[in-house]
């Protein structure tokens, strides 16, 4: 009997919670394709609605970022609803998804925490015209919001200092002074931030720096 992959083992657990989902494996693109329906209920278990979805999971699972599509077209295809005209869903800020993928995801938790929550929040907005909680802004404003809210780095110039230090691999040791200027050592201050930024990788950090510098130039912000 063939040994099942980690994805197949984990999908069995996910299906216990989401029985209307099934999967196939695409040999050409080397990806798992989860399709089916996702029933959404409120916290009291009251049924709200059902979404038709496609969740594409790369073969590199669990070290990957699954791609979500909504095919039932219940959500307005507008940027403020965090969904593309084709139905691709933005479940979270890219930085959080990258860090999660580097640590390794669990399929059941991903569907519960990212996919299910995304659709529940969309239904909430359809009902009351706003999301249940705060949401990320778009483009570079969302990048700065990520550093501000996730890592408590409020100043643009300080974000750039962090980016430069991590990219240059200097001044990021546990006992180095924290780049935020607090006077504390990194291990007593922004150690988790530094570790997370390392997970994001140089390519993403360079893109952040490039976009922030353009933002400063276009908006005449003093850095």
Domain that holds residue 101: 6-128
Average pLDDT on 207-212 reads: 96
Sign of CA dihedral 13, 19, 21, 22: positive
Give the model's confidence band at 222: pLDDT under 50 very low, under 70 low, under 90 confident, else very high: low
DSSP letters for 46-65: -EEEEEEEEEEEETTTTSS-
Closest residue by Cα to residue 95 from 170, 52, 8, 153: 153
What is the tens place of the pLDDT at every residue in 3-25? 689 999 999 999 999 999 999 99
Same domain flag for 82 and 107 = yes
Average pLDDT, the chain: 93
Same domain flag for 124 and 143 = no
Same domain flag for 90 and 196 = no
Closest residue by Cα to residue 89 from 55, 64, 61, 134: 55
Same domain flag for 117 and 26 = yes
Tokens of residue 217, six digits: 């130039």
What is the tens place of the pLDDT at every residue in 50-75? 999 999 999 999 999 999 999 999 99
What is the tens place of the pLDDT at every residue in 153-199? 999 999 999 999 999 999 999 999 999 999 999 999 999 999 999 99
Is the whole model's pTM more than 0.85, yes or no?
yes
In a domain, 47, yes or no: yes
Note the pLDDT of residue 1: 55
More confident residue, 43 or 196: 196
More confident residue, 203 or 139: 203
């Amino acid at each position: 009997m063939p040994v099942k992959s980690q994805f197949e083992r984990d999908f069995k657990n996910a299906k216990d919670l989401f029985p209307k989902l099934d999967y196939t494996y695409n040999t050409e693109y080397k990806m798992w394709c989860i399709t089916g329906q996702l029933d959404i209920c409120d916290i009291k278990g009251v049924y709200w609605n059902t979404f038709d979805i496609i969740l594409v999971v790369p073969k590199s699972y669990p070290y990957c970022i699954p791609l979500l599509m909504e095919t039932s077209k219940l959500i307005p295809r507008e940027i403020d609803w965090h969904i593309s005209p084709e139905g691709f869903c933005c479940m979270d800020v890219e930085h959080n998804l990258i860090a999660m993928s580097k640590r390794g995801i669990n399929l059941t938790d991903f569907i519960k925490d990212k996919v299910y929550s995304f659709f529940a929040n969309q239904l909430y907005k359809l009902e009351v015209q706003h999301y249940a909680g705060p949401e990320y802004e778009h483009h570079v404003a969302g990048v700065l919001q990520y550093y501000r809210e996730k890592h408590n780095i409020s100043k643009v110039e300080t974000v750039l200092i962090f980016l430069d230090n991590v990219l240059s691999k200097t001044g990021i040791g546990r006992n180095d002074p924290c780049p935020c200027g607090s006077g504390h050592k990194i291990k007593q201050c922004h150690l988790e931030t530094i570790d997370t930024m390392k997970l994001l990788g140089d390519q993403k950090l360079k893109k952040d720096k490039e976009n922030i510098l353009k933002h400063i130039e276009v908006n005449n912000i003093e850095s």
